[in-house]
Chain A
Amino acid sequence: MNRQPALATKLGKLELAYPTLMGSGCYGSGEEFAPFADLSKIGAIVLKSVTRLPRLGNPTPRLVHTPAGMLNAIGLQNPGIDWYLEHELHKYAGRPCKIIGSVAGFQIDDYPYVCERLAARDEIEAVELNVSCPNVASEGETFGCDPDLTARVVEAARATTNKTLIVKLSPNVTDIVAVARQAENSGADALAVINTVRGMAIDVETWRPRLGNITGGLSGPAIRPIAVLAVYEIARAVSIPIVGQGGIENLTDALEFFLAGATAISVGTANFTDPRIPERLVEELQAYLARRNLGSVREIVGRANVEIATAHQYEGDEG
């Protein structure tokens, strides 16, 4: 009997039984999906971002389905860290998968303030810093779009906890690699690549934006190639693990991210198509690795063979 290929992986100190995360804001607390999804077959749930103060969120409509994806502008609706710690967090204890908290902020000080309180709780095994929410300020993504501001946020949060710190990067920048480098240099244990891509949709009957917030963040298969490229380029520039995300719906999509350099992957919008996708994905991943006589998912991370592509290109040029 062959041994089953290993799917376990690590993000900093965080050990995951499966290399699959459920994206922040897409999976509630897990409780909402528990009746139809086996939470023991996923690596971790990234909780919805929490801020220092309560937020009502954006006006409606907050969602628009678009070709091969979805625009959202929820606006970080959350009860604020104090309420969250007192009334929400206990619900997450005893989940059969790891729980990663998510922190968002509007000033640099917000991040260490919320991160410290969140990370102090046993229910939370790692913290993701959302420096890239596109839907909360007119400038959008003030921190995640600037390498130096990102560095200050990460440094400040880093000082508050030893738990794994994941920094979620925005694709809405000219040079995502520069931001990734700064996050790594400032103490990030891992990077989540990518958050949503800014977008807009207009109702041609009413001539009004289709989102209450006017603009939103695009997710789903429409952004997958953008995300794969970002993972690929960042993986060559940093040495910390990357959580690849952006339109992953099936094994093929997930493999692209692993090959591009992701240590783990995250499923978001696809849960809205079929809540069985994450479970199916790990089964198919295991079968794929077994078929290729690979002992572990770690063996395919970053193995996209770009040299061959380059050779073909030269042949073509010479012909």
Chain B
Amino acid sequence: MATLDLHPRIHATTILERRELTGGVILLTLNAPELADATQPGQYVMAIPPSGEAAATALAVYEAEGKRASILFFVTGKRTRELATLACGDCLDVVGPLGNGFDCTGHARDVAIVAGGVGIASVWLCARRLLSRGANVRLFYGARTAELLVEAQRFADAGCELVLTTDDGTRGERGFVTDVLARSRVPEMIYACGPSPMLRRVGAIANGLGVRAQLSLEETFGCGVGGCWGCVVPLTSVSAQAPGFPPAERGGSDVVFARICKEGPVFWADELRW
């Protein structure tokens, strides 16, 4: 992964723009020049709740350009509901950028990005980076229903080839995006973000094909900065991302629990032992 010498800090931002992309899907654009400048594809922030009444929320940095960084989220619970009430001009403090994101370097010419639902928020910067270095990018993008395939056109406009699926068949092919991935032209590299079942399937497909895949994992975070060991995933102890802890034997190989917030959130599929 793109391991960085991180200098995360607290950014006092102001909301420049709030858009409800579809019912319950919010895009907040923040005035955050230093965050925008520092953020790498696949990194995230912890948004500090203005009320102080709940834990901070981990959110992928969707866009980062000039003075503007944005977050895109589905309203799913108390914490995202509070963030959804923010309006233009309101303040939002965020900690970031955090985590090790996607490695977009290398020579892969034909790459696939797989996004499920809100996972789309983690892959825009990745797509941009890959396109800018001349890669051919296919976006396999799945959601429950057509209206939740937010921002799809934007990826197409930027130069991605779209492969869309919905659970109910209201747009694109009916079914899971991973099923389409499995029978498509084999890419040289896969980038993915979405729900865990989707990522496990992407990992299995990639490992089966011998293609390397970078998976951005989701998990409930505690501190979000590596202090609590609440968001872990089993990783082979020989991974470059393994935290320097003594490994344990499990399922015939040495594993360590790596923190998704700190060592991740992006991991190589062939190094996960989940």
Contacts and interface: CB of A to CB of B under 8 A. Distances in A.
Interface of A: 25-29, 32-33, 35-36, 48, 54, 56-57, 60-65, 68, 70, 72, 74, 77, 79-80, 83, 87, 249-250, 269, 271-276
Contacts of B231: 60, 62-63
B95 interface: yes
A133 to B, nearest CB: 13
B244 A28 contact: no
B9 A273 contact: no
B3 interface: no
Contacts of B246: 54, 79-80, 83
Given A61-B220, A62-B232, A274-B56, A32 B9 contact: no
Contact of A32 (B220, B225, B233): B225
A35 B222 contact: no
Contacts of B48: 273-274
Interface residues of B, number: 38
Contacts of B228: 25-26, 28, 63, 72, 74, 272
A47 to B, nearest CB: 11
A27 B227 contact: yes
B87 interface: no
B245 A57 contact: no
Judged by DSSP, the binding face of A is loop
Judged by DSSP, the binding face of B is loop
Contacts of B245: 54, 79, 83
A77 B246 CA distance: 11
A48 B226 CA distance: 12
A65 B223 CA distance: 12
B10 interface: yes
A116 B250 CA distance: 31
28 contacts: A25-B228, A27-B223, A28-B223, A28-B226, A35-B9, A36-B8, A36-B9, A54-B245, A54-B248, A56-B248, A57-B229, A64-B220, A65-B77, A72-B228, A74-B229, A74-B230, A77-B257, A79-B246, A83-B245, A87-B244, A250-B52, A272-B222, A272-B228, A273-B53, A273-B54, A274-B52, A274-B93, A275-B95
B55 interface: yes
Given A26-B223, A271-B223, A62 B7 contact: no
Contact of B230 (A32, A62, A87): A62
Contacts of A68: 53
Nearest to A36: B10
A271 B230 CA distance: 14
Contacts of A27: 223, 227
